[in-house]
A and B are shown apart, each in its own frame.
Chain A
Amino acid sequence: MILAQAPSPPVEWAGISPLLALFGGAVVVLMGGLFPGRAVRERVVPGLALVTLLIALGCLIWQWDSEQDLLAGALRLDGLTLTLSVLFVVAGIATVGLAWRGFDRMESPEGEFYALVLTSIGGMVVLAAAQNFVALFLGFELLSIPLYVLCAIELRRKGSLESGLKYLVVGSVGSATLVYGLALVYGATGSTDFAAVARALTANAMNDDVLLLAGLALALVGFAFKASVAPFHQWTPDVYEGAPTPVTAFMATATKAAALGVTLRFLDVALFPAADDWAVPVAALALISIVVGNVGALGQSSLKRLLAYSSVAQAGYMLGGVVVGTSLGVQAIVFYLAVYLVMNLAAFAVVVARERETPLGDSMDALAGLGGSRPLLAWPMTISMLALAGFPLTAGFIGKFKLIEATVQGGWIFVGVAIVIGSMISLAYYLKVISVMWMRDAPAVEPAPAVKITPAGAPPPGGRPALAGGSPELDAEGRIDSGRRDPELVVLAVVFGAATLAAGIVPQPLLEWAAKAGEAFPGLF
């Protein structure tokens, strides 16, 4: 009775079309996965997921110039929403490419996998567009819960299950912290709407309010957890390592963009009047993150763990853009997020390719001698590592340059200095990857499982006995490389590697694109 009387809010169908496409596509993909037959699972379902993402991208481009409130002000379509959503969708497309043909035939989870990816992207779009605490938390959970499942989707592998469980437990603590923090901020300001919170803060001058400060601190911790900012990063290396690599790539790029995007919106819109309260702690988190991420990555032999620590450090760099609370900072972060996505996806494509080609998994040994044998994989990886370290003529250099510029202009010079010092330390582990690829030969002897089951005395399959002139080293080397070649991975690596280089040489278009995100913050200068 009451429900019937409540006026239903107007629905801006065009504005929410990207969301509709993603969620509708998720349902279609999930249903498609139920059909029997390998061809359907391995071709149609990923195809449908790809089409869904392309439609969502089309909707975003269609709505590119619009700027409006959606669903009674719960969401907002503006520069930040649009630019970040494009990043989520691009990361999704890359994830589909990385995951395709990568599933164990016994498990066949294609339908669930792609549906969950699409749902998670939908959650990210909601999160980036959120205008009040309810929508924010809804998006946060919609993004997180599919990820818990995705991490554990390789049911028969212990590492995957461990990763999913760890993420679920720590993630629940993080979500609880966030929702508690949001509740306290609501209690202090009496509103869940971002704009209304900002108005209440300005009107009541409540900079010393205990309720507000406690809520702000808890919410900040929740966001820091999701963006894997130290000291709330400890789940990151374990989860990244255990999760299937395409999922890791998706988490490292899209989740990071979503978490930093919402942090930006939460702090620079809702709580901007309280900037004096949060700026110093955020700067402290940035510094801790830069230090912990960079020194943690030293000495890692697993590429995924290395990239996990690297992502902790990169989150620290980007927090530097949040601290300053300027339009320049927003642009620098969005630009860096785009660049970070591109260069990380190039690296992950190479990691996935080598995981499938060798039995060495994501160990750095899998890359040994890649420069000579697979230049099309080695070059993108090299460019990606140089870009992550911030080498000139790569996009990473321009990205760091903009971040440092933003911090210096905003008067937080020591954060800029920390970014530079962090980059210096980071060269130690990024260059190590490059040196392994170009300066080390592929490991000669490898206790591959195929050897163990060979009966003693019999020549290993495919190799010639040493007496007949065959070289044992050569044979062993032949076994290390399974001979499997997935061209789509090479294409992804080359495309993202080339994009990294191109955006470093001609940064202007991407800078203008990032400038659109800055328009979403009219209150900043």
Chain B
Amino acid sequence: MSATTFAWLALALPLLGCVVSALGYRAWPGRSVGWVATGALLASFACSVVTLFELLGEPAEERQLVSSLWNYAATTGLDAELSILVDPLSVLMLLVVTGVSSLIHLYSISYMTSDRGYARFFSYLNFFVFSMLLLVLAGNFLVLIIGWAFVGAASYLLISFWYRRRTATEAGIKAFVMNVVGDVGLVLGTFFIFQGTGTLDLLGTFEQVDGAFTENQAGLVAGTVLLLVGAFAKSAQVPLHTWLPDAMEGPTPVSALIHAATMVTAGVYLIARMHPLYEQAPAAGIVGAIIGCATLLIAATTALAQTDLKRVIAYSTMSQIGYMVMAVSAGAYVAGMFHLMTHAFFKALLFMAAGSVIAAMANMQDMDRMGGFRRAMPFTFGCFVVGGLALAGVPPFSGFFSKDEILAYTAERGGIFVVLVAIGYVVAFITAVYTFRVIFRTFLGEPVAEARELEQGHLHHADQPTNPATGEVEDTDVGFPGPDHHVAERAFPMKVAMGVLAVLAVVGGLVQIPGVTHLLDDFLEPTFADSEFYEALDPSPASEYIGLAVGAIVALAGIATAWLVWVRRPGTADAVRARLRPAYALFANRWWFDELIGALVVRPARWLGIFAQNIFERLFVNGTLVGGSTGVVRASSAAVRAVQSGFLRFYVAFFLAGMVGVVLWFLLSA
């Protein structure tokens, strides 16, 4: 039993869980299907841990294991093998994905209890984890593309999980279309790279890329930029980010799993995985870093002006992923992966806590109507504050170390990257402000009616279930949220999941304290050993500590500002809004990206579609192509059946005629 065997097991278990929970959806009594799915994930996590230890048992230079299950299409010049690559990078992702997913499954057992689509939900969740692991473990571009597309499909299924809710299905379609744009980018990028290297195998590509392409050769830059398009779509980076806020229409565990901890980090993983390509095409790396920086600024400012609780966290996710994309594009791979890991902990925690609050509000997500939940839900409050401190980057919480490592390492590149880092520090301040804006507005202040009701020991239920976004009246049957909802204070599995994540959000940063610990650095070394930046980017402890100090001051200043604006002098926010009306309009309208994409892409595409349908399709395709070719086929079919008379004498005559024809051909052609 080697490391790859356990990696295959970790990959197979969620698939098994998906099939088992789907096929038995009638047979599983009560909540058992949730426990089955969660058990599959926990077993998968256990296999991942064993994989880790098996891998650590190997000598450092042999920690890149490839295992091929079978060769799907052995044909000339194409090595489309179903293979996985087990190395420190993929094992790190494996651990993060299976670990966080297990906790989110556990949370969902309670959260989704009363939903009529309980088994379907867990089947989808398991399918998502399987797809994500396929993406992470892929040892071949073909498998990577399959996993990439599966993840998009799973995301679509889960966002539109309440499929009778119009806003949810529209959000699902939007997410799917944008993800397909990314899929196209990934596939085209793969073609460009394959054209140069002639192999689909990842390790083979990395070995040959230096020989096949010169530095910044056009083909390679095109290929890597197209890969970036794929990464941007999946990781919600500007301008392919507008699907992520809408994706909050899905159930809250989905937001925690897909839109915080796992799927949206796939782009970061892709860039880190393809680092030999980006080092051979530094131009593409700079593009990635600039887009990442733009995203982190745009998303953070947008988050300041949103009032929907989950959307604020969604924008914060985009912003944090902007940090990671900037880091891995700049060559600070370990820092980027480090932030990916800590972010998975604290962002999943924040979503879970938000889910608890939303449940207490009877599925209402508007922050304007929330307040004073501190006493009603002390556990949720505690978790939210821990997550918020980690997100804001307050020492010694996990986000503090990882974010500052990104900024310190990126600054080492010099040049334009110094500007990007400066923006990064500004955004760190904004991050602290909007995070604590949420905490202060939701948990402090005068308790709202729902909070008081909960303090009395009763959970608020709306008179009539409605869509929180549009106010449409709904029922609680399949395709809509169930009648009951659950809060962390009362549901034990939710409490456990959040507790574990809270601990991880506190201590997760300790693996990488500058000058003290470098566990992740050492662990990932075999993957990045061939990288030119891995060795070169090595900021001195002094500069790192200066960075840490600046980061801490910025975070605390941000929290203080938020406290001033929303607690100490509650009217300040309105005054600021009135003073800075244009800026507020920009942020509140999400920088008008939806409108921009609508005008530039959606509307021309619709016109084109109407033209194609009414004129091109009707006249040319249906009339000429289809009508013509089916006419030919029909006529020849009639001819074949006409000569099939059923008379033996005719058959023999036909046979002899054919024979004469063949003989004549032979004699005449020679």
Sort A-B residue pairs by CB-CB distance and give the 4 closest, nearest first. Answer: A296-B640, A217-B666, A231-B658, A217-B663
Which residues of the other chain, B, contact A298 by a CB distance below 8 angstroms? Answer: 633-634, 637
B74 proximal to A (CB < 8 A): yes
Most chain A CB within 10 A, of B74, B75, B652, is at B652
Is A216 within 8 A of B648, CB to CB? no
B96-123: which have CB < 8 Å to A? none
Which of A216, A231, A299, A507 contacts B666, CB < 8 Å? A216
Which residues of the other chain, B, contact A256 by a CB distance below 8 angstroms? Answer: none
Most chain A CB within 10 A, of B75, B659, B669, is at B659
Q: What is the interface of chain B, defined by CB distance below 8 A to chain A? A: 70-76, 633-634, 636-637, 640-641, 643-644, 646, 648, 651-652, 654-659, 661-663, 665-667, 669-670
Is B655 within 8 A of A506, CB to CB? no
| CB of B668 to closest CB in A, whole Å | 10
Which residues of the other chain, B, contact A234 by a CB distance below 8 angstroms? Answer: 643-644, 651, 654-655
Is B658 within 8 A of A292, CB to CB? no
Which residues of the other chain, A, contact B76 by a CB distance below 8 angstroms? Answer: 405, 409
Separation of A26 and B73 alpha carbons in the complex (Å): 42
| CB of A82 to closest CB in B, whole Å | 22
Given contacts A166-B651, A232-B658, A508-B70, contact A214 B637 (CB under 8 A): no
Given contacts A170-B652, A295-B637, A296-B640, contact A281 B662 (CB under 8 A): yes
Kindly specify which of A44-52, A205-213, A449-457 makes contact with the partner chain.
Answer: A205-213
Is B651 within 8 A of A235, CB to CB? yes
Separation of A213 and B664 alpha carbons in the complex (Å): 10
Separation of A210 and B76 alpha carbons in the complex (Å): 40
* CB-nearest residue of chain B to A280: B669
Which residues of the other chain, B, contact A299 by a CB distance below 8 angstroms? Answer: 637, 641
Given contacts A221-B659, A405-B75, A507-B72, contact A170 B666 (CB under 8 A): no
| CB of B528 to closest CB in A, whole Å | 34
A498 proximal to B (CB < 8 A): no
Given contacts A174-B655, A217-B665, A401-B73, contact A208 B640 (CB under 8 A): no
Per-residue contact bits, chain A 479-515, to B (CB 8 Å; 1 contact, 0 not): 0000000000000000000000000001110010000
Which residues of the other chain, B, contact A506 by a CB distance below 8 angstroms? Answer: 70
Separation of A302 and B483 alpha carbons in the complex (Å): 54
A218 proximal to B (CB < 8 A): yes
Separation of A173 and B661 alpha carbons in the complex (Å): 16
Could you jot down 6 A-B contacts, CB within 8 Å? Answer: A208-B670, A218-B659, A221-B662, A231-B657, A281-B662, A298-B637
Separation of A173 and B654 alpha carbons in the complex (Å): 12
Which residues of the other chain, A, contact B634 by a CB distance below 8 angstroms? Answer: 298
Which residues of the other chain, A, contact B644 by a CB distance below 8 angstroms? Answer: 234, 237-238, 296
Given contacts A170-B652, A170-B655, contact A295 B640 (CB under 8 A): yes
Separation of A208 and B667 alpha carbons in the complex (Å): 8
Which residues of the other chain, A, contact B648 by a CB distance below 8 angstroms? Answer: 165-166, 169-170
Is B72 within 8 A of A214, CB to CB? no
* CB-nearest residue of chain A to B73: A401
* CB-nearest residue of chain B to A294: B633
| CB of A428 to closest CB in B, whole Å | 8
Is A173 within 8 A of B656, CB to CB? yes
| CB of A411 to closest CB in B, whole Å | 14
Is A231 within 8 A of B654, CB to CB? yes
Which residues of the other chain, B, contact A398 by a CB distance below 8 angstroms? Answer: 73
A475 proximal to B (CB < 8 A): no
A277 proximal to B (CB < 8 A): yes
Is B633 within 8 A of A425, CB to CB? yes
Is A295 within 8 A of B665, CB to CB? no
Is A214 within 8 A of B636, CB to CB? no
Which residues of the other chain, B, contact A169 by a CB distance below 8 angstroms? Answer: 648, 652
Is A173 within 8 A of B666, CB to CB? no
Is B658 within 8 A of A508, CB to CB? no
Separation of A280 and B669 alpha carbons in the complex (Å): 10
Separation of A502 and B666 alpha carbons in the complex (Å): 43
Is B637 within 8 A of A170, CB to CB? no
Is B70 within 8 A of A511, CB to CB? no
Which residues of the other chain, A, contact B662 by a CB distance below 8 angstroms? Answer: 217, 220-221, 281, 285
A405-462: which have CB < 8 Å to B? 405, 409, 425, 428
Separation of A220 and B665 alpha carbons in the complex (Å): 12
| CB of A22 to closest CB in B, whole Å | 31
Separation of A255 and B579 alpha carbons in the complex (Å): 89
Which residues of the other chain, B, contact A240 by a CB distance below 8 angstroms? Answer: none
Per-residue contact bits, chain A 214-233, to B (CB 8 Å; 1 contact, 0 not): 10111011000100000110
* CB-nearest residue of chain B to A209: B670
Separation of A234 and B633 alpha carbons in the complex (Å): 19
Is A296 within 8 A of B641, CB to CB? yes
Is B667 within 8 A of A214, CB to CB? yes
Is A173 within 8 A of B652, CB to CB? yes
Per-residue contact bits, chain A 294-321, to B (CB 8 Å; 1 contact, 0 not): 0110110000000000000000000000
Given contacts A234-B643, A425-B633, contact A177 B659 (CB under 8 A): yes
| CB of A53 to closest CB in B, whole Å | 30
* CB-nearest residue of chain A to B69: A506
Which residues of the other chain, A, contact B654 by a CB distance below 8 angstroms? Answer: 231, 234
Which residues of the other chain, A, contact B666 by a CB distance below 8 angstroms? Answer: 213-214, 216-217, 277-278, 281
Separation of A216 and B662 alpha carbons in the complex (Å): 10
Separation of A278 and B666 alpha carbons in the complex (Å): 8
| CB of B166 to closest CB in A, whole Å | 29
Which residues of the other chain, B, contact A517 by a CB distance below 8 angstroms? Answer: none
Is B665 within 8 A of A292, CB to CB? no
Is B652 within 8 A of A214, CB to CB? no
Is A238 within 8 A of B72, CB to CB? no
Which residues of the other chain, A, contact B652 by a CB distance below 8 angstroms? Answer: 169-170, 173
Which residues of the other chain, A, contact B643 by a CB distance below 8 angstroms? Answer: 234
Is B637 within 8 A of A281, CB to CB? no
Separation of A411 and B75 alpha carbons in the complex (Å): 16
Is A210 within 8 A of B667, CB to CB? yes
* CB-nearest residue of chain B to A425: B633
Is A281 within 8 A of B665, CB to CB? yes
Which of B74, B640, B655, B667 contacts A511, CB < 8 Å? B74
Given contacts A296-B641, A299-B637, contact A213 B70 (CB under 8 A): no
| CB of A185 to closest CB in B, whole Å | 12
A291 proximal to B (CB < 8 A): yes
Is B70 within 8 A of A218, CB to CB? no
Separation of A265 and B414 alpha carbons in the complex (Å): 71
* CB-nearest residue of chain A to B668: A213
Which residues of the other chain, A, contact B75 by a CB distance below 8 angstroms? Answer: 401, 405
A133-179: which have CB < 8 Å to B? 165-166, 169-170, 173-174, 177
Which residues of the other chain, A, contact B655 by a CB distance below 8 angstroms? Answer: 170, 173-174, 225, 232, 234
Separation of A280 and B667 alpha carbons in the complex (Å): 13
Separation of A166 and B74 alpha carbons in the complex (Å): 44
Which of A166, A173, A220, A296 contacts B637, CB < 8 Å? A296
| CB of B75 to closest CB in A, whole Å | 6
Which residues of the other chain, A, contact B633 by a CB distance below 8 angstroms? Answer: 295, 298, 425, 428
Which residues of the other chain, B, contact A428 by a CB distance below 8 angstroms? Answer: 633
| CB of B660 to closest CB in A, whole Å | 9
Which residues of the other chain, B, contact A284 by a CB distance below 8 angstroms? Answer: 665
Separation of A401 and B76 alpha carbons in the complex (Å): 12
Is B663 within 8 A of A214, CB to CB? yes
Per-residue contact bits, chain A 249-289, to B (CB 8 Å; 1 contact, 0 not): 00000000000000000000000000001101100110000
Which residues of the other chain, B, contact A280 by a CB distance below 8 angstroms? Answer: 669
Which residues of the other chain, B, contact A508 by a CB distance below 8 angstroms? Answer: 70-71, 74
| CB of B632 to closest CB in A, whole Å | 9
Which residues of the other chain, A, contact B637 by a CB distance below 8 angstroms? Answer: 295-296, 298-299
Separation of A220 and B658 alpha carbons in the complex (Å): 11
Which residues of the other chain, B, contact A214 by a CB distance below 8 angstroms? Answer: 663, 666-667
Separation of A401 and B659 alpha carbons in the complex (Å): 31
Separation of A284 and B659 alpha carbons in the complex (Å): 14
| CB of B185 to closest CB in A, whole Å | 23
Separation of A220 and B656 alpha carbons in the complex (Å): 13
Which residues of the other chain, B, contact A285 by a CB distance below 8 angstroms? Answer: 662
| CB of A297 to closest CB in B, whole Å | 8
